[in-house]
Structure 1
Amino acid sequence: MLRTRVLGPSERRPSRPVLTDALDLAARLPRLILEARRVSASIHGIHGRRRSGPGETFWQYRPLVAGESASRIDWRRSARDGHLFVREREWEASHSIWLWIDRSPSMGFASSLAMASKLDRALVAGFALAETMVEGGERVGHLGLTRALASRRIVEMLAQAILADERNASSDLPPEAPLPRLSDAIIITDGLSPASALAQRIATLASSGARGHVLLIADPIEETFPFSGQAELFDLEDGLTLRVGDAGAWGDEYRQRLAAHREAIAEACRKAGWTLTLHRTDKPASEAVLRIASLIAASRSASGF
């Protein structure tokens, strides 16, 4: 019998620093980090861009993001207009890889056909990509949570930032801000937000010329809709329910609408010059990580960076 499971709010977003041993995000993170490291090790060498020095030493300023140390604030620049700014080298800002991992309610879904929930798979893929990129000499950060870092502890740092972030835990769209021109974005999401809204965010992120890669995470039953007879459908984002008498009769229209939705996202990626990769949670995480790492390596090679 086909079964489904939805991760509850406490499993997706811890509400306090110290959590019980229940199956929540904090308890799962050590296992997910280990899995991410195994995946990263399995594709070692795909991204081999090590640089010998810090590059140009021109300075530029950007707003302070949540989780950054106050010691990084440039108080003289911040005093000019009342906002907090961080000073960093231009090369550091532009040659960076920016992750964004969707942790909205729909990401907590898992069927009995899947190897993991969409959220757990997204975290493993994101952490593995971060580890792989840092091993290749890149700086990696999470949009809206951390600055770009080349730390060997990048996975733990990302995990801690995500664990502490309650404000954005239900957001199904990345932050609305242009990325530096020579940076790369990796957006990991199930893509179930309105296609027009996601397309607008992609356009904004890419507006200064940043490259990007969207990794769509899907549960196998979201692809096939293998239901028949009476069924009750739940909207995990809005809490709405719908009872249908013959679920099998909905299958064709559902798949057509899903295909149209995905095509709208694909078109947004094409317009921005970004790539789109679909990954199902009944497949190994290494497939998605290898694909995205290869795309980033290819884009860096083609552009000379």
Structure 2
Amino acid sequence: MIATRVLDAAQRAPGRHETEGALSLAERMPRLILESRRVSSTLAHGLHGRRRAGQGESFWQFRPFVAGEAAARVDWRRSARDDKLYVREREWEATHNIWFWIDRSASMGFASSLGQGPKVERALVLGLAVADALVEGGERAGLLGLTRATASRRIVETMAQALVADKAGLEQDMPPRATPGRFDEAILVSDFLSPLEQLREAVGSLAGSGTRGHLVMVVDPVEESFPFAGQAVLHDPETKMSLDIGDAASWGAAYRTRIAAHRDGLAEIARAQGWTLTIHRTDRPASEAALRLLTLVAAARGTG
């Protein structure tokens, strides 16, 4: 028998109040941070970021002086160590940032016995792990509307602290209105169960300034297959509405058709803006989706 639950200690229909309390991250975040670190450490570090010479403030490397260059470029202190002249090269630093939004609304509290945990926990682990790997690769990461983009090696702790303090985020199933830079990227992690028109508007708003992006749809296996039979009661933790189903098996076919149509609509929204869509099930390792995201970001950097 398949068991389902929403993160809630009460044995009753989960409403927003119960889910809000259950989605509090203060107690669970240390464990999620450790898990995200574990995932990021398993990823292949093939993402080299923007390590190339150019205008910037961060030292990259010394290289031999080439005849014809301006003498002002010579680093005389380094050159004094031997009989060669050296130039201090700096790392190229364009204003490229990667912004994350991790959905923590009520529907993300859903979990079934077929998954490895609630959707919200998987979304957090995935987002934090990818941010950690990107910073390790030389990128800057931040949370939309919550933090600035930074290349700090403590990016996981910085993002985690901001999320714990952001109580308003428990009420938001759409990313905040923000205006990233033209060459920035956005990574939105959610179940994207909101109406397609709202999603189209949100993605269009972020993409309007030229921001590239990636949608990561986190789903529980039960939400795809609806493997129920007999009488059932469905609860919507967002609206507190309930639906009594007399024959869940026959109703399941219509449900699966509607979910497929919603997913097709989401894919079209992503395509229209030149964004990508990744579908990640909670019965699969988080590292799978994380590695795909790193590959997509690297590909976007190569064509940017």
TM-score exceeds 0.5: yes
CA contact (8 A) 2:207 2:273 kept: yes
- C-alpha separation between the residues in 1 aligned to 2:40 and 2:53? 24
- C-alpha separation between the residues in 1 aligned to 2:213 and 2:238? 26
Deviation by residue 1:234-260 (Cα, 9 ceiling, x = unmatched): 011100001111011111111111111
- C-alpha separation between the residues in 1 aligned to 2:169 and 2:298? 30
Counterpart of 1:160, as a letter, is Q
Superposition deviation, residue 178 in structure 1: 3.0
Match of residue 47 from structure 2: 47
- C-alpha separation between the residues in 1 aligned to 2:240 and 2:53? 51
Match of residue 21 from structure 1: none
Runs of 4+ that moved beyond 6 A? none
Q: TM-score, normalised by structure 2?
A: 0.82
- C-alpha separation between the residues in 1 aligned to 2:27 and 2:133? 24
- C-alpha separation between the residues in 2 aligned to 1:32 and 1:272? 32
CA contact (8 A) 1:44 1:132 kept: no
1:19-38 map, 5 Å: 25-38=25-38
CA contact (8 A) 1:174 1:201 kept: yes
Q: Secondary structure at the match of 1:51?
A: coil
1:1-305 map, 5 Å: 1-7=1-7, 8-13=19-24, 25-51=25-51, 55=55, 94-303=95-304
- C-alpha separation between the residues in 1 aligned to 2:44 and 2:132? 10
Give percent identity, aligned residues only.
53
- C-alpha separation between the residues in 2 aligned to 1:231 and 1:219? 18
Alpha carbon RMSD of aligned pairs, Å?
1.5
- Alpha-carbon spacing, 1:55–1:126, altered in 2? closer, same or farther (3 Å): farther
- C-alpha separation between the residues in 2 aligned to 1:302 and 1:50? 13
- C-alpha separation between the residues in 2 aligned to 1:34 and 1:209? 34
Superposition deviation, residue 264 in structure 1: 1.0
**Consecutive unaligned residues in structure 1, runs of 5 or more:** 14-24, 58-90
Q: TM-score, normalised by structure 1?
A: 0.82
- Alpha-carbon spacing, 1:54–1:37, altered in 2? closer, same or farther (3 Å): farther
Equivalent residue pairs, number: 258
Deviation by residue 1:125-180 (Cα, 9 ceiling, x = unmatched): 00000100000111100001100011111000100000001122220100123321
